[in-house]
Amino acid sequence: MKRKKSRWPLRTSHRPQGRGSSVTTQRALDGIVVLDLSQVYNGPYCTTLLAQLGAEIIKIEPFGGEPVRWRVVDEQQTAAFDLLNGGKKSLRLNLKDAEGRALFLRLVERADIVVENFSPGTLARLSLDYDVLAEVNERIILASGRGYGARTPQAAHRAMDLTIQAMTGVMATTGQPDQPPTKAGPAIADFFGGTHLMAAITAALYQRTVTGRGQHVEVAMQDAVVPSLTSSIAGYLDSKATLPERTGNRHSGLAVCPYNVYPTSDGWVAILCMNDAHWKSLCGLMARADLADDPAFGSPPARVARMDELDEIVGAWTATTTRDDVVERLQQLRVPCAPVLGLSDLMHGPLVGSGAMIQPVRDEAGRESYVLGTPLRLAASPPVPAAPAPALGAHTEEVLRDRLGLDTADLARLRDRKVV
């Protein structure tokens, strides 16, 4: 079938403003329409980032909603869903129905991006793979979040964050040396994958301004996680595979010391000395000039060689005072350090609030929830106001009426047929 020509002109870039210009109210991705088929964490975080730059996100869900909506308590929207779907529109659509697929393709004609992280082969089984989408809109960008790289033996396997951590060495390098492999606390594979997928999308959007055509972009969580193992891989290579894989709270490549979590009288504190200046400042604070002047501790390799001894010395000093006192005194000397905070500290601290990374919102019914803020700060692209996550199918009629011109009778018939 011959591809249809685009009905839209190429978007032209805006001229950069002069230094004295006032900041525009236009956001970086204003006017970009995203059809979001994704679920759980990987894809939804990608589309959250796009939304925070101004893109309109139409979240297309099956009749039961995506899995994260109800996985804790039936009929009660979960906090995880709220956090990752603030400000999106929800369209309930049966893609297994021929008419449902036809409606989706009509939406594709008027969209810029489709995001999905289904298991391998799902889009093809739905007859909605890239070639089909590009037939109706040559400018469409299909963004696929995958588990494993296309050229790996596991390419066709189903994947979740836990399995990716297992397959990439993350679990093998997490935990104490004498304990079993441990998964990282945060869902790093899902979120690293989602962040990299967003980067691929923005690159494809830019390339489209030159070529006039979209493309299929893919990011495997497996690939996105591997660079974060740089210290561990470097330690493996530099030591000729003699270092332990799991180093606990110590540096992954055992190349920096002090580098650990140390006890205080009321908690824990993380301290690291990346250079000799940090080390000497710490020695001065501990009143241990003898250590600062001792050639046996005079270089990073020398300190690493006596790591157990140094960790005992530093820990004995931190244990004599409070966590906040240790942090304040080290910060004054510009030594990298931080208190070890729990989730309660996080939720009652400066990262929660209006304009922060976790923002409280209230929907029209008065239900309170939290949504994620943006880590992306663009001086000329103001942040999108926080808004609650949508109820399942809350925008179905709005989207189909406004975008496809369906009337009340059409919508009633589609509901009766359980297409929407």
Strand partners, 260: 271
pLDDT at position 156 is 84
pTM listed for this prediction: 0.89
What's the CA gap between 62 and 66, in Å, rounded? 7
pLDDT at position 75 is 66
Query: What structural domains does the chain harbor?
Result: 33-228+370-417 (3.40.50.10540), 250-340 (3.30.1540.10)
Q: Are 50 and 201 in contact (CB under 8 A)?
A: yes
pLDDT at position 80 is 94
pLDDT at position 162 is 92
pLDDT at position 155 is 82
Sheet of strand 113-116: strand arrangement? 89-92, 56-61, 33-36, 113-116, 141-146, 216-220
pLDDT at position 126 is 95
pLDDT at position 1 is 39
pLDDT at position 331 is 95
> Active-site residues: which are they?
190
pLDDT at position 74 is 59
pLDDT at position 8 is 34
pLDDT at position 221 is 95
Q: Which residues of the chain have pLDDT under 70?
A: 1-24, 71-75
- In one letter, which amino acid is 49? L
What is the DSSP annotation of 263-318? EETTEEEEEE--SHHHHHHHHHHTT-HHHHH-GGGSSHHHHHHTHHHHHHHHHHHH
